[in-house]
């Protein structure tokens, strides 16, 4: 390392040390002058080693308290507190040192009172002045280059965000808007509160704002939709800070500025869960998850690991998905006993070996094919994986003495119009009826679309928008229920904790969302205009699709459970002998690839199912969820 480079590195720190020691000497000198100002007849005297002792002792205290580690540019209250601590401790140490040196000869006691006050002012004043100068200089430089932003929300999150942005040359905060009456005319960190949310367009125009920053991490979904709509009306780009649940879960940093995601607008208010019951079901238990590399399966694995499972076995037939989730879990939960098994759930031998080694007590069966249009022409593959695979895992779980088996199902199993839905309904029927012939508690959890899951409409729309469109929607009136992946998994765990066996639980999916509205909102969030900049094209319903999804069959008279977000469908029994016979015949048809026989078997179990290439909208029955107490 060259001498010039070395000096360049140490120079700022040497300057700070020199400044602080100079201030210590100056404070000691002024303190003695002030003392003798009131006693002009006394003569000011200094001993030979008085100043060296003061500087040496005070310098050591400065070093010990870490005063040299602070950066003047960011001097704040903690730094001032550290200065006070250093000068008080230094004064005590100087007192003891001078007492041992000369019994405090020539050092009046009042000097030891004046010295720390003067030194605190001399140390703190230049630091604060330097920060003020740098901030003021930075604000002047920002005026020409930084983007003028307004913060929507003047609560704690907005205040912290404005403070952080003072050190970010990309942004210049011009003010806040907030609906709280107590904040009218207030100033936060030197920035005024300029108006209410509904005055956003007018205020933004008057203040020449170039971007809006939404700082409402605790806002409900309804409030967030309103604020985003108001931001949309300004025509300005806008960003937001993460939701509190994302920060708590470690998925985001508190004041990280990010684009508003569709999940922020379609998610629901946070779900209240009985974590005690969930922990009793999973903590210190041996758990197995099939399809553990998929969207739902992987999130289940994360939450199960977070809840302190004794061991977790992940069964997955995708090599890459298995590698990805096991690597993540090993990094985040090194104490977890984790086993990844690359296997097909329909492989009986592989399942028997996996169960014999893992000895699971709780099992979540998330493995399934789920792409409706693709499976419409793939009956054999859909039946083999979604039905026979489920039967293999369920039978093996019963033989292995698994205590709790949870089948992850779908709203498409209700009045199915698709091959995928029909196969999932047959899987539900098998698990429901197997419950009466086993000590294992078999239960089913049924829910709708999951936001941003693999193969879902959200990533498809996002890709189409990034490509410049068009965004393809099958029908102007088509609607779907949506739920975030973490929320769906939490409710699955909750259902597992309350199930007694044989139930079909349906999760409260909220209100259905029109796919057209979803597409338009995603286009606006991307900063484009629906129709003009990004066209929306209607392609017609695909094979097996419904206009409206249902969560219950009309004959499943559903009722409430102990949890407000989980409902219970009444069990519909099927002859066990008939079920076994039809599934055996279907398994033989799978072996010889006889799809015609498979159709007959499915029709035998689901008499109302019609083999049509495309679902007709006029024939679709929509069952909207109402208050369960009123429906009984």
In a domain, 473, yes or no: no
Tell me: the pLDDT tens digits for 467-494?
A: 887 888 888 878 777 777 887 888 888 8
Crossing angle for the helix pair 295-306 and 485-498, to the nearest 10 degrees: 60
Q: State whether 373 and 499 are in the same domain.
A: yes
What's the whole-number average pLDDT of the chain?
A: 79
Rg for the chain, CA atoms, rounded: 34
CATH number for the domain spanning 184: value is 3.40.50.720
Q: State whether 92 and 113 are in the same domain.
A: yes
For the ranges 49-58, 90-99, 419-428, 513-522, the maximum mean pLDDT occurs at: 419-428
Q: State whether 256 and 305 are in the same domain.
A: no
CA angle (546 as vertex; 480, 269 as ends), nearest 5: 10
Give the residue numbers marked as catalytic.
412
Residue listed under structure tokens 């289940």:
300
In a domain, 472, yes or no: no
Q: State whether 413 and 559 are in the same domain.
A: yes
* Pair of tokens at residue 554: 């009309």
Q: State whether 374 and 256 are in the same domain.
A: no
The mean pLDDT value for 285-313 works out to 93
In a domain, 265, yes or no: no
Q: State whether 311 and 387 are in the same domain.
A: yes
pLDDT-based confidence at residue 582 (cuts at 50, 70, 90): very high
Q: State whether 130 and 186 are in the same domain.
A: no
In a domain, 283, yes or no: yes
Q: State whether 150 and 78 are in the same domain.
A: no
Q: State whether 438 and 582 are in the same domain.
A: yes
pLDDT of residue 72: 54
Q: State whether 66 and 193 are in the same domain.
A: no
In a domain, 360, yes or no: yes
In a domain, 518, yes or no: no
Q: In the listed set 229, 260, 291, which residue is the last one of a domain according to the structure?
A: 260
As a whole number of angstroms, the distance between CA 497 and CA 507 comes to 14
As a whole number of angstroms, the distance between CA 120 and CA 20 comes to 10
In a domain, 25, yes or no: yes
Q: State whether 198 and 344 are in the same domain.
A: no
Q: How many domains does the chain have?
A: 3
Is residue 313 within 8 Å of residue 363, measured between CB atoms? no
Crossing angle for the helix pair 576-591 and 595-605, to the nearest 10 degrees: 160
Q: State whether 114 and 47 are in the same domain.
A: yes
Q: In the listed set 137, 167, 183, which residue is the last one of a domain according to the structure?
A: 137
For the ranges 2-6, 102-106, 457-461, 605-609, the maximum mean pLDDT occurs at: 605-609
As a whole number of angstroms, the distance between CA 288 and CA 311 comes to 8
Q: Which domain range does residue 126 map to? A: 3-137
In a domain, 464, yes or no: no
This prediction has a pTM of 0.62
Q: In the listed set 137, 157, 178, which residue is the last one of a domain according to the structure?
A: 137
């Amino acid at each position: 390392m060259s001498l010039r480079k070395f000096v360049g590195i140490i120079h700022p720190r040497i300057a700070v040390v020199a400044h602080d020691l100079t201030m210590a000497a100056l404070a000691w000198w002024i303190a003695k002058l002030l003392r003798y100002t009131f006693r002009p007849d006394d003569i000011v005297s200094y001993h030979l080693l008085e100043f060296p002792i003061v500087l040496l002792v005070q310098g050591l205290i400065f070093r010990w308290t870490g005063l040299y580690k602070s950066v003047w540019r960011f001097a704040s209250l903690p730094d001032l507190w550290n200065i006070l601590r250093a000068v008080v401790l230094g004064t005590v140490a100087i007192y003891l040192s001078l007492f041992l040196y000369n019994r405090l000869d020539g050092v009046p006691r009042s000097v030891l009172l004046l010295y720390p006050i003067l030194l605190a002012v001399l140390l703190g004043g230049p630091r604060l002045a330097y920060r003020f100068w740098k901030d003021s200089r930075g604000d002047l430089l920002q005026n020409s280059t930084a983007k003028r932003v307004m913060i929507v929300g003047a609560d704690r999150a907005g205040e912290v965000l404005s403070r952080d942005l003072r050190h970010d040359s990309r942004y210049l905060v011009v003010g806040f808007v907030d609906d709280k009456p107590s904040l009218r005319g207030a100033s936060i960190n030197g920035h005024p509160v300029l108006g209410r949310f509904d005055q956003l367009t007018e205020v933004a125009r008057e203040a020449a704002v170039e971007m809006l920053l939404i700082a409402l991490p605790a806002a409900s979904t309804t409030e967030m939709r309103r604020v985003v709509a108001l931001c949309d009306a300004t025509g300005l780009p806008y960003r937001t800070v993460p939701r509190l649940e994302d920060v708590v879960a470690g998925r985001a940093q508190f004041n990280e500025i990010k684009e508003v995601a569709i999940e922020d607008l379609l998610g629901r208010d946070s779900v209240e869960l009985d974590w005690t019951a969930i922990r009793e079901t999973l903590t210190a238990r041996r758990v197995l998850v099939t399809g553990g590399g998929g969207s739902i399966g992987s999130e289940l694995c994360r939450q199960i690991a977070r809840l302190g499972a004794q061991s977790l076995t992940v069964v997955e037939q995708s090599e890459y998905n298995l590698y990805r989730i096991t690597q993540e879990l090993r990094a985040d939960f090194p104490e977890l006993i984790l086993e990844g098994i690359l296997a097909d759930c329909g492989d009986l031998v592989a399942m028997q070996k996996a169960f014999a080694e893992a000895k699971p007590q709780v099992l979540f069966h998330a493995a399934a094919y789920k792409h409706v249009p693709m499976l419409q022409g793939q009956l054999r593959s859909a039946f083999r994986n979604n039905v026979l695979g489920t039967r293999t895992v369920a039978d093996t779980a019963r033989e292995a003495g698994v205590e709790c088996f949870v089948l992850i199902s779908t709203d498409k199993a209700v009045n199915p119009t698709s091959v995928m839905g029909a196969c999932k309904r047959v899987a539900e029927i098998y698990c429901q009826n197997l419950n009466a012939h086993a000590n294992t508690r078999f239960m089913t959890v049924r829910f709708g679309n999951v936001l941003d899951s693999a193969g879902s409409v959200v990533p498809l729309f996002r890709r189409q928008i990034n490509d410049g469109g068009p965004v393809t929607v099958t029908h102007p009136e088509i609607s779907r229920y949506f739920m975030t992946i973490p929320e769906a998994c939490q409710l699955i765990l909750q259902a597992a904790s309350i199930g007694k066996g044989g139930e079909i639980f349906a999760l409260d999916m909220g209100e259905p969302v029109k796919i057209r509205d979803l597409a338009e909102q995603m286009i606006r969030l991307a900063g484009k205009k629906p129709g003009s900049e990004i066209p929306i094209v209607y392609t017609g319903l695909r094979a097996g699709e419904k206009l409206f999804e249902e969560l219950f069959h009309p004959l499943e008279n559903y009722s409430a459970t102990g949890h407000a977000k989980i409902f219970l469908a009444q069990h519909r029994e099927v002859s066990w002998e008939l079920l076994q016979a039809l599934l055996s015949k279907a398994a033989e048809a799978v072996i010889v690839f006889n799809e015609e026989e498979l159709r007959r078997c499915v029709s035998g179990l689901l008499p109302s199912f019609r083999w049509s290439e495309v679902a007709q909208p006029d024939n679709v029955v929509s069952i909207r969820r109402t208050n369960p107490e009123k429906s009984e």
